[in-house]
Amino acid sequence: MEGTCGIPCSVGPQCSDPFNPQSDDYALAMFQYANVALTAGRNIKTMQILEDLRRNRSYYSEAIQDKVDFQLVHVYNQLGETDFVLKLGEEIRKRLEGREIRDSSDAYDLVSFFKNMADVYLEKKEYDRANGLYEKIIELMEKYKNNQKNFP
């Protein structure tokens, strides 16, 4: 069987070839590249990689889309793009409404995401919105406090 990249593979039409830019493996590799760039202080490079992944989001699993979006909010926050943080953040919040938290890793990602959003609302003196998000953070931290990750 031929995969989406044109290379014969046995896993079906969604090819697992890591060089296929439509595979989750490729997206994870690029996500890690973005994380290394972020650690090195190359915020613009990080943003470019994450934006490219976001543009092609329909190819990737929901879990990868979430990781990309959460990290993109973080990077835009670091770049001082607060209006965009809030726009993207509210879009993500609507998408996440009612979604089940699968594990402590999901809770950690949400805490970090909500903290970025709350800090921007605080900076903009929108205290009610900030405090609402801080309360969500507290609830998540209390519920998942026995996890193995330290919350931000």
Give residue limits of the domains in the chain. 24-143
**Sign of the alpha-carbon torsion through 76, 79, 80, 84:** negative
Question: Which of these ranges, 2-6, 21-25, 127-131, 145-149, has the smallest mean pLDDT?
Answer: 2-6
Model pLDDT for residues 70-108, shown as the tens digit of each residue: 999 999 999 999 999 999 999 999 988 888 888 788 888
User: For residue 10, what pLDDT is reported?
Assistant: 39
pLDDT interval class at 2 (50, 70, 90) = very low
Q: Is the pLDDT at 12 greater than 60, yes or no?
A: no
Q: In the block, which residue shows the tokens 């697992």?
A: 16
Model pLDDT for residues 22-72, shown as the tens digit of each residue: 899 999 999 999 999 999 999 999 999 999 999 999 999 998 999 999 999
Q: Is the pLDDT at 11 greater than 50, yes or no?
A: no
| 134 or 105, greater pLDDT | 134
pLDDT interval class at 151 (50, 70, 90) = low
- First-to-final CA distance of the chain: 45
Collapsing DSSP to helix, strand or coil, 2 comes out as strand
Q: What is the pTM of this model?
A: 0.77
CB 12 within 8 A of CB 1: yes
Domain 24-143 has CATH 3.40.50.300: no
